[in-house]
Amino acid sequence: MESYIKQDNLTNFYGIKKTDQIREWLHKFESLGLISIDKSDIYGQYGKFNRCSYQLDTEHFVLITNKLYDEPISKELKGFLILLKCKCLNGTNTTLYSQNRLAEELGLAKGTISKYINEAEEKGYVKRNKKGIRLLREDIFLKTSESPLAIIKNVYPEIITDEDLARGYVV
């Protein structure tokens, strides 16, 4: 998945005051291997400028719609719900982690996890049962399926390595 969005547009969309903050996070994502950034010189009517394209990793990802921004909940709860979605099983809105394990995985206090899960449950965003925690709002938290390559890597990890992909042996 490739994007040519301008950093100024991202800044405006998210209501962030400084474009530098977006730039810093994009480079942080790049250093973590979540995106790759390609910069090219473009010559136009008014001179030369840089155009960045952002290549997103489509092997493992989650999709969350813009509806979350308009939900009448705190930004902290929104952030927690995003983290919870990232801990769901691939292609589902369900996580099998216990609250204690979520606290370990997310680096948050157990009390914080409990507080946000209770709040999310009261407001109809999650449901807990013996099988785990399920995100209820499928209009916000979209279910995605893994790419065929990701499925093969999960089933046969010794056949295709990340090094093979990096070297371009597998497309």
Question: How far is C-alpha 38 from the chain's CA centre?
Answer: 20
Q: With a threshold of 0.75, does the pTM exceed it?
A: no
pLDDT in tens, 2-42: 677 788 887 887 778 888 888 898 888 888 887 889 988 88
Kindly state the helix (H) or strand (E) to which residue 127 belongs, with its residue range: strand 126-129
Residue 55's identity, in one-letter code, is: Q
CA distances from 156 to 85, 115, 150 (A): 25, 39, 10
Q: Where are the domains of the chain?
A: 2-56, 63-142
63-142 has which CATH code?
Answer: 1.10.10.10
CA distances from 8 to 51, 84, 157 (A): 12, 29, 40
SS3 19: helix
